[in-house]
Amino acid sequence: MNARIRHPEPTEGAAARTVQRRDGKGAHNVRDEVACEVPVALHYNDQPFAVLMATPRDLADLAVGFSVSEALIPDAGELQIEAIDESIDGIAIRMRIPEPRHAALADRQRALPGYGGCGICGSASIEAVLRAPPRIASTPRIAETALHRALDALHECQPLNAATGATHAAGFADRSGTLLLVREDVGRHNALDKLVGAMATQGIDAGSGFAIVTSRASYELAMKAAHVGIPLLAAISAPTTLAIALAESADLCLVGFARDGHCAVYAHPERLIPSSAEQSR
């Protein structure tokens, strides 16, 4: 009798699929890991609010981070996750917040569904999107070498992307560049929300370090970072004009093209100590 071939379990957040690989020698079928993307419905006080297309892992972090970074609640202490229900259609996260907060959601109501690729799809009004975050209170200065240290470490902390090649990551590092937390998702906004939620749950002060993301620096990401008080956001790709404008008004240091030992600072460069200044000390 032939022994049964045992395939390793897929990485959390991925599923095994058969793919036909082709090259100059022909075609052959192999097992591949593919990133999961499912509808995740967010319900507050028994009412649907938004649907995100997300990777089904770290969902409690997603619920907390979305609620805080979207200014639905001021802090994680006001949120109670009652259930995370899975069905054939997707996942529903059922949460409860104070009734006055819930009553205010009518002004922020999102049309369903929303999408993982767009953090503001379905927002009911321009005012709901272009809300002004408070100015960032903390004023740490981050060394450029610390930024690149964290970016180098991030490459080794993305198991889902290593398996699938299809996800973004968001990480938070302390001022020395030591990476403290990383979260992954098919949506860049979801990855940052998961990071914010994990930080809130673990009691990590948003003003004590900086965030890095493996995507462009969109307005939504800058807004989320600024709202929770992260003083520096670095992206491996480009920012947008609206992200720069928001960063300037919120005292957020916004860094783009942060990779391979280089970066471009688009707002508040005084928060990032250049390598030349470090060497002259």
What number is the average pLDDT over the span 162-176? 96
Q: Using one digit for the tens of pLDDT, what is the confidence trace for 209-229?
A: 999 999 999 999 999 999 999
Shared domain check, 149 and 47: no
Shared domain check, 68 and 154: no
Shared domain check, 238 and 187: yes
At which of 79, 107, 129 does a domain end? 129
Asked if pLDDT for residue 5 goes beyond 60, the answer is no
Q: What is the CATH number of the domain that holds 70?
A: 3.10.20.10
Q: Using one digit for the tens of pLDDT, what is the confidence trace for 40-87?
A: 999 999 999 999 999 999 999 999 999 999 999 999 999 999 999 999
- Alpha-carbon span 63 to 44, nearest angstrom: 10
Q: What is the CATH number of the domain that holds 231?
A: 3.40.140.10
pTM attached to this predicted model = 0.89
Shared domain check, 266 and 163: yes
Note the Cα 152 to chain centre separation in Å.
18
Total domain count for the chain? 2
**Cβ-based neighbours of 207, under 8 Å, separated by 6 or more:** 136, 137, 138, 140, 229, 230, 231
Question: Annotated catalytic, 118?
Answer: yes
The two three-digit tokens of residue 49, written as one number: 């609010």
Q: What is the pLDDT of residue 26?
A: 86
Shared domain check, 110 and 186: no
Cα separations in angstroms, 77 against 68, 97, 197, 224, 226: 10, 9, 11, 18, 20
What domain range includes position 204? Answer: 142-279
The two three-digit tokens of residue 180, written as one number: 């403290």
Asked if pLDDT for residue 6 goes beyond 80, the answer is no
User: Could you say which of 36, 118, 121, 263 is catalytic?
Assistant: 118
The two three-digit tokens of residue 53, written as one number: 């297309």
Q: What is the pLDDT of residue 81?
A: 98
